[in-house]
Chain A
Amino acid sequence: DVKVTQSSRYLVKRTGEKVFLECVQDMDHENMFWYRQDPGLGLRLIYFSYDVKMKEKGDIPEGYSVSREKKERFSLILESASTNQTSMYLCASSLLQGARGNTIYFGEGSWLTVV
């Protein structure tokens, strides 16, 4: 079974702190994604990566950056956390870009509260 592991399930951080959310997948997937989930808004894509050191902005990249130094690991960085970044963050991964119907696998999510 594919496993996408997010290092922290629950975090509480202060406004202005730098926050790292880590994600590791064990299936040698090329693509990795970071989404945030908010009530009524569904999931919105923050950033994705299709290869090591490659990244592309999603729909809501402002206030976030990412790092992909190794194929299995994709980190989401909040340079200076703000209260409007309180949310559930979901990491995901999938096989080759472009293949029709490729399943995207999700981690269990990280609940971040910024106070």
Chain B
Amino acid sequence: GNSVTQMEGPVTLSEEAFLTINCTYTATGYPSLFWYVQYPGEGLQLLLKATKADDKGSNKGFEATYRKETTSFHLEKGSVQVSDSAVYFCALKKTAGNKLTFGGGTRVLVKP
């Protein structure tokens, strides 16, 4: 079946540090890949997505590239801010369906 594995947190960083959250997936076919973010006390918001191999999704300074050869979709940001403190979820969705399969989530804490 489909599965998503992401690094466990919490990840604690200082402001302006570089952030990487690893995400790898197992799926048949060609899934679409997503990063969602959950700020404290809120629901999930779509951060970025990629629908085919070598696509790069980007938003709010975050980037992730769909790497089919390594089945990965790592999230990166060059300079984090305190406001980036949140839980980040990697997810996949197969073409023939709309169900998302989520990773376990990675909590990120950015300190001033």
Contact = CB atoms under 8 A, between A and B. Distances in A.
The range of chain B's interface size is: 20 to 34
B82 interface: no
A25 interface: no
B43 A43 contact: no
Interface stretch (A13-21, A65-73, A76-84, A106-114): A106-114
Residue picked from B41, B99, B102, most chain A C-beta under 10 Å = B99
Interface string B1-12: 000100010000
Contacts of B46: 103-105
Interface residues of A, number: 29
A97 B98 contact: yes
A107 B41 CA distance: 11
A2 to B, nearest CB: 10
A103 B100 contact: no
B104 A41 contact: yes
B95 A48 contact: no
Given A42-B4, A103-B46, A109-B42, 11 more contacts: A31-B98, A42-B102, A48-B98, A48-B99, A100-B51, A101-B32, A103-B49, A106-B43, A107-B43, A108-B43, A109-B43
Interface of B: 4, 8, 32, 36, 41-46, 49, 51, 89, 91, 93, 95-100, 102-105
A-B complex: 5 closest residue pairs judged by Cβ atoms: A42-B102, A101-B51, A106-B43, A106-B44, A108-B43
